[in-house]
Structures are given as structure tokens and as C-alpha cells.
Structure 1
């Protein structure tokens, strides 16, 4: 039996799922998505999904892509856009009547370890001849370089209620109270929750695989680190209600009780 998934689903920082197609098998992709919806209907039922064909060697034709969109809708999710990849993807999006989103594509490239483009070497200018210093004018001392500002974590002191979303941009997030069911807390760094976690917690939202989630009372609908996720149905029952830490290891979510 082939246990490799045909489509890798990642959760974005605004709760939109990104489905990166690994194997263009429409029937298999639809069945995988139907299984996800059945296992976690509150999370995936009618969820917005961005389709990413960047993992394929060739962009599919419009007919095949439309069959995939129709199948995913029948499985219970709502494809809303394509992830930007190439000019062919752009033309495909126009044929399907869908917008393009570039952000998800960039996030996957960072997560996959793609090296950034090398910067162009600076242009060498001919050295200018400095004028002789005026004897009557004292030279001004060059200012010392400013020290980089320390990254300050975000603190949320009020309860995060159903329907609310709290996002800590480029820093850690500490929640001093409850994250209610249907609420979402997101950080580019780690997430610390000192009360019950009943909603969703997403750490490393921009691809930081070293980020972690800590909570005092674990009942999460979903947890995710750098896009990799687990829903409540996938979590051992003995960990529910416990103080836990959550981290990413070999692209797998790990959850352990805190002593």
C-alpha cells in the first residue's frame, strides 16, 4: 500500500489551507480531502483552500484542473485560488476564473530550504579625492552604529473568544488566559498559553520550524507549526486536558506532556 499522500495540506497564517499537489491523481486527491473533512468537520468543512501546482513537473491542463476543483468542492472544501508559480499557472488561473496568491508559494520555498537569489555585486565607483581638511574646522565624530532593537513578544491578557484571531507578527505570542473554541492564535515565533486552549494555535507561521507551542490545558481543535498540523481527532486522548508542549521533528508534529 502506498502511504505517501498525493497532496500535502498545510495551514496558512490566516486559516486558509494550502494544498500542494504532489501527485496529479484527481480521484486520490479528492478522497484524501474527503477523509480530512470527515475526521475534522469543524476544521475542514467548507474551508477555503489554495491549490498549489508548484510541486509538479508540468502544469495540468484546464480540464484536469477543473475536475480537481469540482471534486474538492464535492469533498466539502472550497478552492478559492491558485498559488502563484509560473506564467503557465497564471494562464491556468485565468482559464479557471480564479485569482493567484503569491504568498503561499514563497512560504513553501522557504520551508523547502530553497536558497534565496544571490544579490548582485555592488557597483564599484571611482574613488573621489577628498579635499584637504580646513585647519579651523574640527572634524565631527562619526556616530556609533545603533544597536538592533530586541524583538519583544506580544502579550494577550484578555480571553480570545470564538471568532477572534490574534496574530503576533515576527515575534512570540503569550496568552495569559483562555483561547476559546473557534478562536485562533497565530505567531511567527512560539505560542505560550497559560490557560485552556480550546481553539486553534499556529506557531512558526512564516516557516520557522524551531517554533513551539506550550499550553497549560490542552483541548485544541488544531495545532500547527510551520504549516504542519494536527487536529484534535489525531491527538492521543491521554494528552487532552494536560499541560503539553508541541514541536516539529522530521516534519512531524510531536506532542508531549509537561512535567
Structure 2
């Protein structure tokens, strides 16, 4: 093959799927001054966690008028605090139009608030023949035998994450399901990252910088009241993270 032909067939990039952890800011209403004050308060609780994170704005529970949504102000406020708004989970056409005007990506998952179509006359259906359900294999757990050191990130995109060693301060472990740490948990643990609110975090010694389940999180100062430096489980109950010593679980 000639050099010119090789140059013509070579591609400068490839597109591949990527599984990454995103933080969603669930917006209920928007007032610019109040938004920045609340954002500063959240960042002060865990500065390292929020620095340079990609953020999406979720409008699933937005209850204010769409005319008050100013994505340019939201983007500017977040950038001043080293947070990068990359997209919007919108709930109606006006919100999507505003997001496009601010050059933000539109993410799926929002509950679209549109009028329900008129009911159509049901068509006759053949009788349903029961079919035996085939057993679905659970997603395999990812097992880590070595300590997770500061600056490392370990990710289980489908199932549970089992770590048979310590998670050091400055490390981050993420899982679609549960997280089990058979050693001290000193870094950040994020379970149920795709929204599974039944996920849990288990550890032999709770010393975490941050624990999150389905987007709800507590930082170390909030975790020290119960089971600190003891075996514990963390779970979500009524949108609140609850810490329970394992000997009382």
C-alpha cells in the first residue's frame, strides 16, 4: 500500500462508549443569589469532591416558571467555583430550547410533561399464553484484592464492587450496586451511581471522606456520629443516608 493510500484510510479518532460518574444538581426553582449561596455552602462541606466535576442540571422536579431559568447564569456561577455544567435533563420543550440556546447537551431520563393522548379504542388481542421466566444472571461483582491508593479510582459499572483491602484517603470507589470494603474505608465511596436507591455500602472501619448512594451523600463530619472507625453499613431510607453499626444491623 502506498503512503498516500495509508494516509487516506487512517482516521484521526474513534468513537467509543464510556461509562463515567456524573453528579446531578436537582433544581427546584432558580434565584441567582440564592443559588450561589447554596452552592457555596455545599462546596464548603467537601471542596475536593466538587472541584472540576462535570455536572448536569436535572429539571425533573423543577417547580418554578421556565421564564426564570437562566442557564447562562447557572453556568457562570458554577464555573466560578470550578464546576462544569455539561448538560440538562429537561422536562418540557421550553426547557430543552433554553438548554440548546446555552449550548448544553440534552440528556435522556427526564419525565416529559406533556398532555396525555386521547385514549384509543383497544384492539382485540390474542389470549396470552404464560411463558416460563428464564433465570436472569445477576451482573458479576468486581473483586479488588489490592489496596486502593490515593488518587486511584475503581469502578464497577454494572454490579457490586468488593474490595478485600483498605481504600485510602484520596481514593474513589464507585459501583452500580453495593460496595463492600473488607478493611478501612478512608476515601470516597459512591454506590448506586445509576440511581439504584437500594444499594448499600458496607465496610469494616468507617473513616470515609464521603459516602454517596444514588446521588445522596454525607461527608466525614456527618458520618462521625455513628459507627465511626467501626464496622458499618450505610443505606438510603426516605432520601436520607442512614449509618448502622454492623453488630446492630
Among candidates 100, 110, 121, match of residue 106 of structure 2:
100
Among candidates 22, 26, 33, match of residue 16 of structure 1:
22
What is aligned with 2:230?
A: 242
**Number of residue equivalences:** 214
State the shift of 1:237 in Å: 5.5
State the shift of 1:248 in Å: 0.9
CA gap of 1:151–1:66, structure 2 versus 1, over 3 A, is closer
What is aligned with 2:198?
A: 210
CA gap of 1:123–1:195, structure 2 versus 1, over 3 A, is farther
Among candidates 178, 183, 187, match of residue 199 of structure 1:
187
What is aligned with 2:144?
A: 156
State the shift of 1:176 in Å: 0.5
Deviations 1:8-44, CA, capped at 9 Å, x for gaps: xxxxx84432111112222111111101112211112
CA RMSD of aligned residues (A): 2.8
SS class of match (1:35)? helix
State the shift of 1:89 in Å: 2.8
Contact 1:40 1:233 (C-alpha < 8 Å) held by counterparts? no
CA gap of 1:231–1:14, structure 2 versus 1, over 3 A, is farther
Contact 1:176 1:194 (C-alpha < 8 Å) held by counterparts? yes
Among candidates 53, 59, 62, match of residue 59 of structure 2:
53
TM-score (norm 1): 0.71
What is aligned with 1:226?
A: 214
TM-score (norm 2): 0.73
Q: How do 1:182-193 residues align onto structure 2 when only pairs under 5 Å count?
A: 182-193=170-181
